[in-house]
């Protein structure tokens, strides 16, 4: 065999050995699908609420669901964590996992950071997702309200108002769970309800209402958590 042929053969054998010697890498992924209090407003919870977390995880080896739940952890700081409650195995190595924790938000005011970690069988972190939750402890407020004409006798009146919602800082509309609805009450009866939206922190609408004769109009604002 010529020197050139021998060199080519050795090169080919080296490539074959190199290829078969490469380790097989399994993809392990983690995504948080919801992170909220019991009302399900993502990123927000009420005071003393129960934290609810749902994730989709791809776990190497397709372990039994009870073992998979131990591989997904919620960290409240760098050292303290709780395992997820349950995992349901879907196709292949994909799991839907959930956790409810009644202690995670105890005495929390403002915003708290968390981290969800996926670990392998040896306890090493393979994926992590950081999430924050804002504790919405304040009710929305109706900042202004007017009726035109101010006195009606069973006629239509134009109502204008400004409603605002705050999470944890009064007057700050940059962060909130959202105005759920504004209710107008006359004579003990609800005569109109204006729906809001999740994370909509202010509303300044004008609407036309038919008011009962000689009645007092009351209004009430609710946010997505109160």
d(CA 111, CA 176): 11
The model carries a pTM of 0.77
How many domains are contained in the chain? 2
- Of 150, 164, 146, the residue nearest 207 (C-alpha): 146
Over residues 63-94, the pLDDT tens digits come to 999 999 999 999 998 889 999 999 999 988 99
Name the residue range of residue 50's domain: 30-135
d(CA 49, CA 109): 11
d(CA 32, CA 131): 9
CATH for 123 = 2.60.40
Record the tokens describing residue 145, joined without a space.
Answer: 């309200």
41, 55: one domain: yes
Over residues 162-204, the pLDDT tens digits come to 999 999 999 999 999 999 988 888 778 888 888 888 889 988 8
Over residues 117-159, the pLDDT tens digits come to 999 999 999 999 999 999 999 999 888 888 887 666 667 778 8
Judged by DSSP in three states, 17 sits in: helix
Over residues 209-226, the pLDDT tens digits come to 776 655 566 667 777 876
């Amino acid at each position: 065999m010529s020197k050139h042929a021998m060199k080519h053969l050795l090169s080919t054998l080296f490539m074959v050995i190199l290829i078969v010697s490469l380790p097989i890498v399994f993809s392990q992924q983690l995504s948080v699908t919801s992170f909220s209090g019991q009302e399900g407003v993502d990123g927000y919870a009420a005071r003393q609420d129960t934290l609810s977390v749902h994730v989709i995880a791809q776990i190497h080896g397709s372990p039994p669901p009870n073992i998979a739940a131990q591989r997904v952890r919620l960290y409240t700081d760098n050292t303290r964590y709780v395992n997820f409650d349950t995992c349901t195995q879907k196709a292949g190595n994909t799991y839907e996992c959930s956790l409810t924790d009644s202690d995670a938000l105890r005495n929390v005011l403002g915003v708290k950071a968390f981290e969800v970690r996926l670990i392998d069988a040896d306890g090493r972190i393979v994926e992590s997702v950081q999430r924050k939750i804002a504790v919405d402890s304040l009710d929305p407020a109706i900042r202004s309200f007017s009726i035109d004409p101010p006195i009606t006798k069973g006629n239509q009146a134009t109502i204008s108002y400004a409603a605002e919602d705050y999470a944890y800082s009064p007057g700050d509309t940059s962060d909130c769970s959202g105005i759920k609805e504004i209710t107008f009450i006359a004579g003990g009866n609800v005569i109109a309800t204006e729906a809001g939206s999740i994370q909509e922190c202010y509303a300044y609408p004008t609407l036309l209402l038919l008011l009962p004769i000689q009645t007092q109009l009351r209004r009430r604002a609710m946010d997505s958590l109160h």
